[in-house]
Structure 1
Amino acid sequence: MSGRRPPRLRAGDTVALVAPCSPAPEEELAAALPVIEAWGVRAEVRPHARGRHPVFGYLAGTDADRAADLQEALLAPDVAAVVCVRGGDGAHRTLDLLDYEALRGAPPKAFVGFSDVTALHEAFAEELDLVTVHGPGAGYFGGDPVAAEDLRATLFEPESRVRIAPPGVRTLVGGTARGRLMGGNLSLLADSLATPHFRASAKGGLLLLEDVKEDVSRMDRMVTQLLRSGWMNGVAGVLLGSWGKCTPDEETIRAMMRERLAPLGVPVADGFGFGHIPAQTTVPLGMTATLDADAGTLVLDEPALV
């Protein structure tokens, strides 16, 4: 079964922008606001979304500040969706500062992000049984209208995004599989093994993997770690997204992934378009879906938002 589905967005709703990881440049935020407001909703930038850690400039404020912005936005009754401004670094540092008991008692709402936000997607799946949205951060909206529109359709018209079939999908291992969508950034998943707020196993899941600015040798080590730890035992299927600015080239990465994942004996499809590339595909997490690796399609059992 799918997790708890949040309500879809409607005209007049409020969307909170938070920065649980790295800060977004002011020009990215300024470009994002008109895009969001053109959806017919109000954009609310949370207090520390423009912040900077006093020592570590790669973080958008202190851990406590970032966690407080996120928690307050998720609990605020007038907020319909929470969108991260970007990924970067630091989401995992907020996980132990969230009040999961309070969040369990709150109505579900759409939560959007990717990259380092994978740590939060996984925590919300494990602790809250929440359907979340693997999609572009708000900082990308102004410069990537295709990605912004794909996300908008998912949030406002989720029935139009039940079938996901981006162009260019390649079959690495054929077949079909049904399971619950999970995962995201490969580096974050490998870093999260054996930590709190992280599921014990990918068993029964359709696992998303993507990364950016990594070498094939490092990705090989990370995939091998997930395999040797037993975490991927029983996974139903694997969807590979994008390898933006990864080295040496996509063909070598694709060959490594096929070599490491084929022994699992489950369908594996590459090129699903989510992750660190322009026009990235939005994929809901926590939904039960069917992957057809031969046809290059992913079909959700039902719309991701109600």
Structure 2
Amino acid sequence: MNEPVTSIPVHPEGVIVPPPIRPGDTVAVVTPCGPPDPVRLVRGVRVLEELGLKVVTGAHVRERERYLAGSDAGRAADLQEAWCDPAVSAVICARGGYGATRILDLLDWDAMRAAGPKTLVGSSDVTALHRAFAVELGVASWFGPMPACATISDPGGPEPRTFAGFTQALSGVQAPVAGDRVIVAGEVVAPLTGGNLSLLAALCGTPYQLRARGQIVLLEDVAEEPYRIDRMLTQLLQSGSLEGVAGFVLGSWENCGDPYPTLEERLVPFGVPVIAGLPVGHGSPQFSVQLGALGAIDAQSCSLVGATIVPVKAV
């Protein structure tokens, strides 16, 4: 008799890929970073409910403390309670902004590990949570649009391409994401990591510092001048964060002037595939990519595609 397989695929490197989200599942919307616009939050929750999901919100989602969505303790509590709730299949961050790094030391990682894997969704400042969840929980997570942000909660409804990718992500499918330029040709299959450049630089010297060896690194940012991009890349370089990198995918650089001379100067010397112009990060459309899972750079089509993950046998 064949041995049963687990319902949770495991990455060859040991990263757990959570089960897909199905209609009828419960998802929790939390605010670990900045305060969301209350009108956008209501619209975003409605969008999730129209997908057939049951939506619960953290107890502190409507709080505000200066530029934060409530106190550090309250934001951490909402995130941890949602993750540890066995009824919740996914934890979706309402928006980014600032504040995720402040709660990392307040989370009970032992309790969250014991709760088992589930899906985390968010981008921008949520990069800090993606890195911490990868290090502490070993779980893959989705870097993509958030319900209280423009591409999901605009008055006219979600941006169609963004929404299509978002719904595919919830169902566990990594849709191909095409860029518009090949900086260094080549192909590579490796786990995807990275996220927002500002947050990756801010995590240098912490337990959640980027470790790029053998991985494809996603980089994107918003409202950063090229010299600041240069400074943050230099910080990653000098900290050793990019040693052994397998490739780079460059997302959106909204309101960043022309970042490409700087990006090319700093990244081309690595001699690994580099593709750019992927609509990932900020702006519209905003596609979803799974951090921690295998990805493949295909320079011929200038795209990032999800690689097939085979479930492992139960032990």
TM-score by length of 2: 0.89
5+ residue gaps in structure 2? 1-11
- What residue is the counterpart of 2:181 in the other structure? 170
Amino acid aligned to 1:191: A
Q: Determine if the alignment matches structure 1 residue 259 to structure 2 residue 268.
A: no
For residues 215 and 170 of structure 2, the distance between their equivalents in structure 1, rounded to whole angstroms, comes to 23
Instruction: Indicate the larger mover: 190-199 or 14-23.
Output: 190-199
Aligned equivalent of 2:78, options 38, 54, 69: 69
Superposition pairs of residues 244-283 of structure 1, within 5 angstroms: 244-247=254-257, 252-283=258-289
Cα distance change on mapping 1:74 and 1:100 into 2, 3 Å = same
Cα-to-partner distance string for 1:57-93 (whole Å, 9 max, x where unaligned)? 1100110100000000001011111100000001000
Aligned equivalent of 2:193, options 182, 191, 208: 182
Cα distance change on mapping 1:303 and 1:138 into 2, 3 Å = farther
Higher helix share: 1
Aligned equivalent of 1:287, options 277, 290, 293: 293
Cα-to-partner distance string for 1:34-59 (whole Å, 9 max, x where unaligned)? 21111001111111111112xxx110
For residues 121 and 311 of structure 2, the distance between their equivalents in structure 1, rounded to whole angstroms, comes to 12
**Contact 2:249 2:304 (C-alpha < 8 Å) held by counterparts:** no
**Contact 1:7 1:305 (C-alpha < 8 Å) held by counterparts:** no
Superposition pairs of residues 66-145 of structure 1, within 5 angstroms: 66-140=75-149, 141-143=152-154, 144-145=158-159
Superposition pairs of residues 196-215 of structure 1, within 5 angstroms: 196-199=207-210, 201-215=211-225
- What residue is the counterpart of 1:220 in the other structure? 230
For residues 34 and 303 of structure 1, the distance between their equivalents in structure 2, rounded to whole angstroms, comes to 32
Q: Determine if the alignment matches structure 1 residue 21 to structure 2 residue 33.
A: yes
Q: Considering only aligned residues, what root-mean-square deviation do their CA atoms show, in Å?
A: 1.7
Cα distance change on mapping 1:76 and 1:48 into 2, 3 Å = same
For residues 293 and 280 of structure 1, the distance between their equivalents in structure 2, rounded to whole angstroms, comes to 20
Q: By how many angstroms is 1:299 displaced?
A: 2.6
Q: Determine if the alignment matches structure 1 residue 155 to structure 2 residue 170.
A: yes
**Contact 2:159 2:284 (C-alpha < 8 Å) held by counterparts:** no
Q: By how many angstroms is 1:206 displaced?
A: 0.5
- What residue is the counterpart of 1:32 in the other structure? 44
Cα distance change on mapping 1:196 and 1:16 into 2, 3 Å = same
Residue aligned with 2:219, SS? strand
Cα distance change on mapping 1:45 and 1:305 into 2, 3 Å = farther
Q: What percent of counterpart residues are identical?
A: 45
For residues 208 and 238 of structure 2, the distance between their equivalents in structure 1, rounded to whole angstroms, comes to 21
Q: By how many angstroms is 1:165 displaced?
A: 3.1
- What residue is the counterpart of 1:12 in the other structure? 24
Q: Determine if the alignment matches structure 1 residue 46 to structure 2 residue 58.
A: yes
- What residue is the counterpart of 1:235 in the other structure? 245
Amino acid aligned to 2:90: A
Residue aligned with 2:275, SS? strand
TM-score by length of 1: 0.92
Residue aligned with 2:259, SS? helix
For residues 207 and 22 of structure 2, the distance between their equivalents in structure 1, rounded to whole angstroms, comes to 35
For residues 311 and 45 of structure 2, the distance between their equivalents in structure 1, rounded to whole angstroms, comes to 23
For residues 137 and 304 of structure 1, the distance between their equivalents in structure 2, rounded to whole angstroms, comes to 28
**Contact 1:173 1:258 (C-alpha < 8 Å) held by counterparts:** no
